[in-house]
């Protein structure tokens, strides 16, 4: 069906199964009625409020006889590079000698690289750091869940005890116990992609990808700049480069300005307050260069701090000699932060990962 193809081209989730559902839905409706066709499609081909405007656009375009222009493709920003292909030793062929040398350099260079500011790295070094970042484990510490699991000691497990008793003909001979299971705590990362964060945004997003990989579905990632963009779905790609490509497609405001306060408010209104930030470890990666109202940022930080388990702020400029958190935004946010860290180098990111994991190191 042409319409489904149009929608798919624009990025909608119109997979064959959904298209089938739409056709079946139309069996029960009036195929010639525009409104019926609209709803049959909208109810079956969309799966998210974000899908709806796109659906409306495609529907209007397709059924007014025009073919919809496929979604405007932005050229990916320059910060996204292919890491793995460019990595020495990744391509099977090539000069053996050269590869060996590069490998040796890589091993000895790692220690030095650990402490270098990522903004000052050459392309090869960056590729190396990217790979090390991809291997970081940034899952949050676990918290107690309401569910029980069998345990050697703990509270009595009536179900299993009775079952055991039944098996032995009614004699209570063995007590079974259970204890609360643990679950990973949710991690929410808000990565600033505004102009002033440009040298760090890519590495920090890669860090977010590593966190999403190690934290599983308990991790949520957003980019902030002039608009709040949810990146959780994009970062589900296993391969870091594929994920970064998807992310760069999704972010509409690379290297724009910063309206942290407003976006934090949007995050809290739309997601945070309803549950996403409750009891979570929330990491804000930003230099705190607030163009908007610092008072608003302060108020929203206070709100976030009341909801979250811990609030971590990673500011890459913190590591600069003589840095003082003097920008209005940073100063307003500071009273509501549990951990203030840097996140400018591999070492700093490892530290950040440990903070997320709950250690005070």
Work out whether 155 is an interface residue with other proteins (CB under 8 A): no
Work out whether 46 is an interface residue with other proteins (CB under 8 A): yes
Work out whether 31 is an interface residue with other proteins (CB under 8 A): no
Given 106, 113, 221, 276, the residue binding other proteins (CB under 8 A): 276
Given 10, 19, 40, 113, the residue binding other proteins (CB under 8 A): 40
For the chain, what's the residue count?
361
Work out whether 145 is an interface residue with other proteins (CB under 8 A): yes
d(CA 315, CA 72) in angstroms, rounded, equals: 33
Given 146, 153, 238, 360, the residue binding other proteins (CB under 8 A): 146
Region binding other proteins by CB under 8 A among candidate stretches 83-91, 198-206, 273-281, 287-295:
273-281
Neighbouring C-alpha atoms within 13 Å toward the C-beta of 330: 19
What value, to the nearest 5°, has the Cα angle with vertex 311 and ends 332 and 248? 90
Q: Which strand (E) or helix (H) includes residue 181?
A: strand 177-184
The DSSP secondary structure of 309-328, one letter per residue, reads SEEEEE-GGGGSTT----SH
Residue 21 CB, nearest distance to other proteins (Å)? 8
Given 5, 9, 11, 21, the residue binding other proteins (CB under 8 A): 21
Residue 232, number of CB atoms within 10 A of its CB: 15
Given 56, 269, 295, 359, the residue binding other proteins (CB under 8 A): 269
Q: How far is CA 263 from the centre of its chain?
A: 16
Work out whether 18 is an interface residue with other proteins (CB under 8 A): yes
The DSSP secondary structure of 74-107, one letter per residue, reads PPPPTT---HHHHSTTTSSSS-HHHHHHHHHHHH
Which residue, 5 or 270, is less far from other proteins as judged by CB? 270
Given 5, 11, 23, 42, the residue binding other proteins (CB under 8 A): 42
d(CA 321, CA 315) in angstroms, rounded, equals: 13
Q: Dihedrals φ, ψ of 105, to 5°?
A: -60, -35
Residue 303 CB, nearest distance to other proteins (Å)? 8
Q: Which residues in this chain contact other proteins in the complex, by CB under 8 A?
A: 13, 15, 17-18, 21, 24-25, 28-29, 35-36, 39-40, 42-44, 46-47, 49, 52, 145-147, 158-159, 162-163, 165-166, 169-170, 183, 217, 232-233, 265, 269-271, 273-276, 303
């Amino acid at each position: 069906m042409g319409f489904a193809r149009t929608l798919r081209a624009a990025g909608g989730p119109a997979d064959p199964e959904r298209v089938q559902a739409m056709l079946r839905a139309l069996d029960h409706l009036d195929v010639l009625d525009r409104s019926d066709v609209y709803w049959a499609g909208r109810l079956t081909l969309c799966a998210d409020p974000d899908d709806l405007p796109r659906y409306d656009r495609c529907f209007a375009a397709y059924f007014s006889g025009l073919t919809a222009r496929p979604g405007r493709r932005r050229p990916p920003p320059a910060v996204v590079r292919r890491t793995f292909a460019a990595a020495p030793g990744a391509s099977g062929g090539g000069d053996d000698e050269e590869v060996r040398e590069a490998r040796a350099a890589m091993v000895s260079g790692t220690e030095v690289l650990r402490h270098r500011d990522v903004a000052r790295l050459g392309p090869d070094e960056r590729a190396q750091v990217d790979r090390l970042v991809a291997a970081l484990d940034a899952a949050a510490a676990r918290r107690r869940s309401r569910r029980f699991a069998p345990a050697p000691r703990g509270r009595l497990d009536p179900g299993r005890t009775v079952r055991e008793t039944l098996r032995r003909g009614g004699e209570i001979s063995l007590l079974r116990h259970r204890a609360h299971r643990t679950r990973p705590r949710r991690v929410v990362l808000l990565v600033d992609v505004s102009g002033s964060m440009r040298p760090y945004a890519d590495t920090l997003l890669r860090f977010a990808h590593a966190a999403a990989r190690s934290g599983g579905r308990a991790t949520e990632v957003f980019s902030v700049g002039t608009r709040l963009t949810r990146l959780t779905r994009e970062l589900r790609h296993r391969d870091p480069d594929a994920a970064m490509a998807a992310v760069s497609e999704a972010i509409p405001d690379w290297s724009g300005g910063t309206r942290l306060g407003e976006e934090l408010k949007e995050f809290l209104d739309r997601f945070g307050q309803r549950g996403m930030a409750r009891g979570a470890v929330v990491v804000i990666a930003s230099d705190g260069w607030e163009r908007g109202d610092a008072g608003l940022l302060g108020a929203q930080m206070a709100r976030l701090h009341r909801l979250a388990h811990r609030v971590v702020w990673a500011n890459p400029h913190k590591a600069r000699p003589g840095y003082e958190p003097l920008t209005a935004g940073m100063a307003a946010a500071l009273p509501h932060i549990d951990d203030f860290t840097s996140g400018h180098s591999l070492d700093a990111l490892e530290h950040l990962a440990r903070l997320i994991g709950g250690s005070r190191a």
